[in-house]
Amino acid sequence: MMGTATDPRATAFGFGQRRSWVFSAWWYPAVLAMAGAVHAGLAASLGQSAEIGIVMAILGIVFAAFGWVFTAAPRFTRKPPKPASDIPRVEQGIRITPGMIRTMLIASALGVGALVLLIPVGGSVEAVPLLGMLVAVPLGVAGGLAYTGWLMKNSAAIYSRWLDRR
């Protein structure tokens, strides 16, 4: 294995890390907004108060907008990326991300399933908005992890295309 300073992939991985950071700054707050929207929609359809979901959706939208604005400079920069400083850790992240996604989704499904089975019969309708939110969050996080994993795995090709456009 090559050292970080001499590894030719370091700059491409650095570009992938920059893209991942820019994406994460708005995506994860957007997941909060999506979970809030799911909660509000389910609550409203069941005749319950949608206030919690609406507040979550608004906060998620605001934080996602701030994340997008605060990462505008690195998003549109022509400046070369800082090379990745820990190539073995980047490679490890690429290898373990699919397993992390599977584990998180399975654990979430088991948790939601257990809640569905353990909620008393009369309380199940009131819990549907919460359960919807508990499904939306792991799906959004899994989507974000899958995309950042894809960015890192394909960082050389993405970086090459960026250099061609630059």
Whole-number CA gyration radius for the chain: 20
- CA distances in angstroms from 29 to 11, 61, 63, 68, listed in the order given: 28, 7, 6, 10
Instruction: Going from the first residue of the chain to its last (166 residues), give the mean pLDDT of each consecutive group of 10, the final group possibly shorter.
Output: 69 96 97 97 95 97 97 93 93 96 97 87 80 95 97 96 91
- In this prediction the pTM is 0.88
Choose among 149, 106, 136, 102: nearest CA to 32: 136
Q: Is 99 exposed, middle or buried (CB count within 10 Å of its CB: 0-12, 13-18, 19+)?
A: exposed
